Amino acid sequence: MNPVPMNLVENKLKALHDDAEKDDARMQERMANAANPPTGEPIDYENIYLPISKEQGQGIRKIIVENACKQVVEFGTSFGISTIYLADAVRRTGGKVITTELLDSKAQIALQNIKDAGLEDYVEIRVGDAMQTLKDYTTPIDFLFLDGWKDLYLPLFQLLIPQFKSGSLIYADNVDMESTQAYTEYVLNNKEAYTSQFMHGGKGLLSRVL
Strands 96-101 and 123-127: parallel
Contact between 96 and ligand SAM per CB under 6 A: no
Contact between 129 and ligand SAM per CB under 6 A: yes
Contact between 51 and ligand SAM per CB under 6 A: yes
Of the candidate residues 13, 52, 86, 97, the single one contacting ligand SAM (CB under 6 A) = 52
Q: Minimum distance between the CB of residue 192 and ligand SAM, rounded to whole angstroms?
A: 29
DSSP helix/strand/coil, 35 = coil
Q: Minimum distance between the CB of residue 156 and ligand SAM, rounded to whole angstroms?
A: 8
User: Rounded to whole angstroms, what are the CA distances from 10 to 16, 23, 29?
Assistant: 10, 20, 30
Burial of 166: CB neighbours in 10 Å, binned 0-12, 13-18, 19+: exposed
Contact between 49 and ligand SAM per CB under 6 A: yes
User: Rounded to whole angstroms, what are the CA distances from 85 to 3, 30, 150?
Assistant: 15, 28, 21
Q: Minimum distance between the CB of residue 105 and ligand SAM, rounded to whole angstroms?
A: 10
Note whether 82 and 51 are within 8 A (CB).
yes
Contact between 78 and ligand SAM per CB under 6 A: yes
> For residue 195, what is the DSSP state?
E
Q: Minimum distance between the CB of residue 126 and ligand SAM, rounded to whole angstroms?
A: 8
Of 28 and 166, nearer to ligand SAM (C-beta) is 28
Of 64 and 167, nearer to ligand SAM (C-beta) is 64
Of the candidate residues 9, 81, 89, 144, the single one contacting ligand SAM (CB under 6 A) = 81
Task: Give the residues across from 171 on adjacent strands.
Answer: 145, 206
Report angle CA 135, 139, 174 to the nearest 5 degrees: 65
Contacts of ligand SAM in 139-168 (CB under 6 A): 147-149, 152
Contact between 130 and ligand SAM per CB under 6 A: yes
Helices (H), 43-202: 54-66, 81-93, 104-116, 130-133, 153-160, 181-189
Of 51 and 59, nearer to ligand SAM (C-beta) is 51
DSSP helix/strand/coil, 145 = strand
Contact between 88 and ligand SAM per CB under 6 A: no
- The residues binding ligand SAM (CB under 6 A) are 42, 45, 49-52, 76, 78, 81-82, 100-103, 106, 129-130, 147-149, 152
